[in-house]
Amino acid sequence: MSYVDEVIDLIVRENPDEPEFHQAVKEVLESLRVVIEANEEQYRKDALLERLVNPERQFKFRVPWVDDSGQVHVNTGYRVQFNGAIGPYKGGLRFHPSVNVGIIKFLGFEQIFKNSLTGLPIGGGKGGSNFDPKGKSDREIMAFCQSFMTELSKYIGADTDVPAGDIGVGGREIGYLFGQYKRIKGLYEGVLTGKGLSFGGSLARTEATGYGLLYFANAMLKANDETLEGKTAIVSGSGNVAIYAIEKAIQLGAKPVSCSDSTGWIYDPEGIDVELLKEIKEVKRERLTAYAEARPSAEYHDGKGVWTVKADLAFPCATQNELQLEDAKALVENGVIAVAEGANMPTTIEATEYLQENGVLFAPGKASNAGGVATSALEMSQNSQRLSWTFEEVDAKLQGIMENIFLNVDAAAKEYGFDKNYVVGANIAGFKKVIEAMNAQGIV
Ligand SMILES: NC(=O)C1=CN([C@@H]2O[C@H](COP(=O)(O)OP(=O)(O)OC[C@H]3O[C@@H](n4cnc5c(N)ncnc54)[C@H](O)[C@@H]3O)[C@@H](O)[C@H]2O)C=CC1
Ligand SMILES: O=C(O)CCC(=O)C(=O)O
């Protein structure tokens, strides 16, 4: 049996009930076959893949908190410090009822390669809780964040592990988490990113993942003699990533016509009104039905359905496995020319293969959504310098980073004979730097 197959088998056997983690490992290792097979003897001797797929350490802890009526609740918290070969662990925190150790491990594993692709010194980590922020008061959110950080603070620090936001964790939560860290540790340091601008946050971090996605898509389209100008785009999600992907798509001349949340979706043929969407989602924290009520051109539909809308481009920006084989078939049928992932692993392996086989340009999230974590690393740099850069400075660096990621991914794909396969290109380019650092640091 080949080394790749052996390690995939091992991961499935040793981590039962973690299908998302199996999926992420399979996708990466399958596409690295060409590199691994060329070095199989040495890698096997060094147990390189076993070390790559096993987190350096993982924490699981109890998070008790009291709701507004005095009732005590207990949630589970996680932090997985996956790989620290190229820098302090870096990756977001997700608060969502679906969170379990397998989801955090898939996200942490992806983060290793994404962070490597940014070219910045950050290792891979991820964390979160099965806490559901929906319907909670600000006071309850604060109580949860304070309890979560009381435990998490033992494992993180500006030079060891620097969490940030992800699903269910935005500026409000990062503020409460930062306040509690400072109170416990007595340290005013860059231990979290995505902070508010008045306490060490970076301009453009809020926008960075969505903007970065569009900078990557623009570079990919240009390299294929295409452009964003005049294209219709379907976007899923209506959170941080989706909102700023929509905003940048409009600025670059495309027309995004959809967005979604976990209960339904919007089709707005006149183009999404991004200021209205921000008001509803960021300020009022309302459902998307409020968008349709306020905007005569928009239709609201229950359930899942954005991928059936006719468009040129698709940007999945909600959650894992939201774009499946039947959705990929609908996209191809409708003439979509490019799919760029804003979310982490939103496209299943079968759907990705179908899109690629049918000539659709496909940008994997670990490359195309890396702008968020890259800008987090820029926030860490500003915190270390005790300086703040302007929006324009950060945005220009972000754009440069995303264009560079595209060039590196494209070059790696070409070098190994997989021209235009950006999945293979991203995995190879991300992997090479990590294993070089791991090899240089000995068996650790
Ligand atoms: N925030 C960031 O900087 C980054 C986020 N990501 C990824 O982007 C995706 C979206 O994250 P954010 O926008 O930050 O989160 P968010 O909490 O701001 O928004 C999440 C969006 O996804 C939708 N959603 C969540 N679970 C869903 C489900 N089961 N079915 C359908 N819709 C669902 C929500 O309704 C919401 O519109 C996630 O996959 C996250 O891991 C990736 C890179 C960076
Ligand atoms: O900004 C960060 O550190 C984390 C971003 C993140 O969680 C991600 O890239 O998926």
State ipTM: 0.98
Largest CA distance in the chain: 64
CB atoms within 10 A of CB 403: 15
SS3 content of the chain, % helix, strand, coil (to 5): 50, 15, 35
Closest ligand 1 atom to residue 168 Cα is: 17
State which of 93, 166, 320, 383 you would mutate to test the pocket of ligand 2, scoring each by most atoms of that ligand within 8 A of its C-beta.
166
**Is the CB of residue 111 less than 8 Å from the CB of residue 82?**
yes
| CA 88/CA 97 separation, integer angstroms | 28
Among residues 314, 220, 238, the alpha carbon closest in space to that of 280 is found at 238
Instruction: Report whether residue 90 contacts ligand 2, using a CB cutoff of 6 Å.
Output: yes
Instruction: Report whether residue 373 contacts ligand 2, using a CB cutoff of 6 Å.
Output: yes
Confirm or deny that 111 is annotated as ligand binding.
Answer: yes
Helix 422-440 to helix 19-31 angle, to the nearest 10 degrees? 90
β-pairing verdict for 361-363 and 161-164? unpaired
Q: In what order do the strands lie in the sheet with 89-95?
A: 57-66, 72-83, 123-129, 89-95, 161-164
CB atoms within 10 A of CB 163: 28
Among residues 276, 334, 267, the alpha carbon closest in space to that of 305 is found at 267
CB atoms within 10 A of CB 138: 9
- Residue 257 Cα, ligand 2 centroid: separation in angstroms? 26
Closest ligand 1 atom to residue 114 Cα is: 43
Q: Which domains does the chain have, with CATH numbers?
A: 3-188 (3.40.50.10860), 207-363 (3.40.50.720)
Confirm or deny that 114 is annotated as ligand binding.
Answer: yes
According to the model, what pLDDT value does residue 333 have?
98
According to the model, what pLDDT value does residue 313 have?
98
* Protein residue with its CA nearest to atom 7 in ligand 1: 343
According to the model, what pLDDT value does residue 252 have?
98
Q: Which residue numbers in the chain have pLDDT < 50? A: none
**Amino acid type, 5:** D
Could you list the active site residues? 126
Instruction: Report whether residue 375 contacts ligand 2, using a CB cutoff of 6 Å.
Output: no
According to the model, what pLDDT value does residue 93 have?
98
Which residues make beta-bridge pairs with 166? 169
- Beta-carbon contacts of 387 under 8 Å, excluding residues fewer than 6 positions away, are none
Closest ligand 2 atom to residue 110 Cα is: 10
